[in-house]
Amino acid sequence: MFDPEADGVGAIKGGCPRCLELLAIFESHRRTLQLMCGFAPFPAQSNKPADPGSDQQQDLFSFLL
């Protein structure tokens, strides 16, 4: 039930190894996103509906193009 974003390191009781690993993963992910934004900022989000004829597969890195 540990949420590293909401709870932070102070919520880890007894040095729980799983919680410490989850916190490390969360911090690495946050740092990776910061580096990605510094390299190529995210473009503004469009509110127009997607083209119904387009491929429905989501592309995890489409915002970088």
For residue range 1-51, list pLDDT tens digits in order: 788 888 888 888 888 899 999 999 999 999 998 888 887 766 666 666 656
Q: Kindly tell me the sign of the dihedral angle through the C-alpha atoms of 53, 55, 60, 65.
A: negative
Q: Residue 55's pLDDT is what?
A: 58
In the numeric block, the tokens 């919520």 are attached to 11
Please indicate whether residue 1 or residue 65 has the higher confidence score (pLDDT): 1
pLDDT of residue 36: 85
**More confident call, 31 vs 61:** 31
Question: How far, in Å, CA of 51 to CA of 49, rounded?
Answer: 7
Q: What are the angstrom distances between the C-alpha of 65 and each of 5, 10, 20, 28? A: 28, 39, 34, 23
pTM for the full predicted model: 0.55
Amino acid at 39: F
Q: How many CB atoms lie within 10 A of CB 23?
A: 19
